[in-house]
Amino acid sequence: MTKKDNTLPEWLEDVVAKEERARRQAVQAAERRAAAENRAEIMPVAERFVSVNGEGTHAGRLAAFIRFAGCNLRCRWCDTAWAQGADAVTEWRTAEELVAWVREARVECVTLTGGEPLLQSGASALVEALVRAGSAPGGDEGVTSYASLVERASAAAEEPPAPGPLFVEIETNGSQPIRPLAALRERLAEEGVPGRFGFTLDCKLPASGEDSAMNEDNYALLGADDVVKFVIADAGDLDAMLAVVEAHGLAGRCGVYLSPIRGEMDPAVVVEFMRAHAMAYATLQLQLHKVIWPGVERGV
Ligand code: SF4
């Protein structure tokens, strides 16, 4: 008796592959529909991970990153273009789920990034939930007896100290209004909530191709916890950056960070420009992630 050949003919393999593709697309469409119906509660996440913060006032510190899918701009030098489309969504998450994950990460910084995080209608609710949760004293919940206190004390002796109040950094591309979140910040401060949040607001310069998309009203709302970040590709960008700083009186009011594009703009030229224009208030920022993990786009 001859052995039966289990290999599918090529035409049948094509049919099976097509059906599988159609099934996957149907599932993704159903997920998108469900999310669209309940947009305020479910948000499209492209990735989340714990790494060092590469930018802003908390650069070099551990942070929990939540990268949302989708962006309304198309910067020429974008290094997260993969996160812009609907295909980038790896999971749909509620604010509660994201807050629980951040608390488990035991960090003091969380970075909301993208894509553009402020495209999410649930962004304000998420920021408020993170700040409030990150302001609670770390880990005293559920202690009800002497035995559990002793157990907890001995566990604590082996564990690193509980993280302090959370700082939430919102990396926004500068095109979306930050006014609703600025109002939330005032309200939380009035309540004396110890956790804080700040904006790292991109100001797109001419070489990005998106400089006309900036929301000019945002600059007046920035303060000491905020940073305006200028990604600089060429000499024209340097001049345009200085014009924005002067027009909006940014010096001394918020952080002014200059980030030369690796391989396009020599950092030494930026330093020379800072010296020539007495920009003592500004900070040169090298793209830390590209120094540590050259060529790696995700999960860092
Ligand atoms: S705003 Fe950010 S994510 Fe959007 S295209 Fe520009 S660099 Fe990429």
Q: What's the pLDDT score for residue 135?
A: 76
Mean pLDDT lowest for which of 127-136, 155-164, 174-183, 285-294? 155-164
Residues 181-217 have pLDDT tens digits of 999 999 999 999 988 999 999 999 999 999 999 999 9
CATH architecture of 36-138+154-227: Alpha-Beta Barrel (3.20)
Query: Mean pLDDT score of the chain, rounded to an integer?
Result: 87
Highest mean pLDDT among 29-33, 84-88, 159-163: 84-88
- 3 state SS for the chain: CCCCCCCCCHHHHHHHHHHHHHHHHHHHHHHHHHHHHCCCCCEEEEEEEEEECCCHHHCCCEEEEEEECCCCCCCCCCCCHHHCCHHHCCEEECHHHHHHHHHHHCCCEEEEECCCHHHCCCHHHHHHHHHHHCCCCCCCCCCCCHHHHHHHHHHHHHCCCCCCCCEEEEEECCCCCCHHHHHHHHHHHHHCCCCEEEEEEECCCHHHCCHHHCCHHHHHHCCCCCEEEEEECCHHHHHHHHHHHHHCCCCCCCEEEEEECCCCCCHHHHHHHHHHCCCCCEEECCCHHHHHCCCCCCCC
Is residue 82 within 8 A of residue 69, CB to CB? The reply is: no
pLDDT of residue 75 exceeding 50:
yes
Q: Are 67 and 48 in contact (CB under 8 A)?
A: yes
150 band by pLDDT with thresholds 50, 70 and 90: low
Spatial distance between the Cα atoms of 137 and 163, rounded to a whole number of angstroms: 9
pLDDT at 82 over 50: yes
What's the whole-number mean pLDDT along residues 86-112?
93
Is pLDDT of 142 > 60?
no
The residue whose CA is least distant from atom 3 of ligand 1 is: 115
Q: How far is the CA of 158 from the centre of ligand 1 (A)?
A: 42
Q: How far is the CA of 102 from the centre of ligand 1 (A)?
A: 24
Q: How distant, in Å, are the alpha carbons of 37, 107, 131, 132, 181 from that of 192?
A: 35, 21, 12, 11, 16
pLDDT at 15 over 90: no
Q: Which pLDDT band holds residue 176 (cuts at 50, 70, 90)?
A: very high
Q: Is the pLDDT of residue 113 over 70?
A: yes
Average pLDDT over residues 73-101: 92
Q: How far is the CA of 72 from the centre of ligand 1 (A)?
A: 8
For 9-38, what is the mean pLDDT?
Answer: 70
Cβ contact 258:284 at 8 Å: yes
Residue with the bigger pLDDT between 153 and 264: it is: 264
Q: How far is the CA of 81 from the centre of ligand 1 (A)?
A: 7
- The pTM score is 0.79
Ligand 1 atom with least separation from CA of 208: 6
Nearest protein Cα to ligand 1, atom 7 = 78
Find out whether 171 and 197 touch, Cβ atoms under 8 Å.
no
- Residue located nearest, by CA, to atom 1 of ligand 1: 173
> Of ligand 1's atoms, which has the minimum distance to the CA of residue 84?
3
Q: What is the mean pLDDT of residues 82-96?
A: 90
Mean pLDDT of 250-279: 97
Q: How far apart are the CA of 272 and the centre of ligand 1, in A?
A: 27
User: Looking at residues 266-282, what average pLDDT do you find?
Assistant: 98
Average pLDDT over residues 18-27: 72
Question: For residue 174, which atom of ligand 1 is closest to its CA?
Answer: 1
pLDDT interval class at 29 (50, 70, 90): low
The residues lining ligand 1, judged by C-beta closer than 6 Å to any ligand atom, are 71, 73-75, 78, 80, 114-116, 173
Query: Residue 22 — very low, low, confident or very high, per pLDDT cuts 50/70/90?
Result: confident
Closest CA to 194 of 123, 136, 254, 124: 136
- 16-44: average pLDDT: 68
* Percentage of the chain exceeding pLDDT 70: 84
Q: To test ligand 1's pocket by mutation, which of 75, 111, 175 has the most ligand atoms within 8 angstroms of CB?
A: 75
Nearest CA to 51 among 63, 34, 67?
A: 63
Name the more confident of 136 and 89. Answer: 89
- CB-neighbour burial class of residue 44 (10 A; exposed 0-12, middle 13-18, buried 19+): buried
Euclidean distance between the first and the last CA atom of the chain, given in angstroms as a whole number: 57
Residue 51: CA atoms inside 13 Å, Cβ hemisphere, count?
A: 20
Nearest CA to ligand 1 atom 6: 75
Of residues 35 and 51, the one with the higher pLDDT is 51
Residue boundaries of the structural domains of the chain: 36-138+154-227
Rounded average pLDDT over 94-119: 95
- Which residues fall within 8 angstroms of residue 6, CB to CB, at 6 or more apart? none
Please tell me the predicted confidence (pLDDT) of residue 267: 97
Sign of CA dihedral 41, 195, 72, 28: negative
Q: What separation in Å is there between the alpha carbon of 54 and the centre of ligand 1?
A: 16
CA of 56 to the centre of ligand 1 (A): 17
Q: 105 C-alpha to center of ligand 1: Å?
A: 26
